[in-house]
Amino acid sequence: MRRFWLSFADDDRPKGQQFLGVCIVEVTEDEAARIKDELRVRFPRHGEGAEWMAAATRKAWTLGCNPGGEVATADITDMPLPNGATTWPLNRLLQKDELQQLGFLEATA
Interacting residues of 41 by C-beta distance below 8 A, sequence separation 6+: none
Query: How distant, in Å, are the alpha carbons of 16, 27, 33, 62 from that of 8?
Result: 14, 18, 24, 15
Query: How distant, in Å, are the alpha carbons of 7, 62, 107 from that of 28?
Result: 20, 15, 32
pTM for the full model? 0.89
Tens digit of pLDDT at every position of the chain (109 positions): 999 999 999 999 999 999 999 999 999 999 999 999 888 899 888 888 899 999 999 999 999 999 999 999 999 999 999 877 788 999 999 999 999 888 888 765 4
Identify the DSSP state of 42.
H
Interacting residues of 83 by C-beta distance below 8 A, sequence separation 6+: 103
In this prediction, residue 109 carries a pLDDT of 47
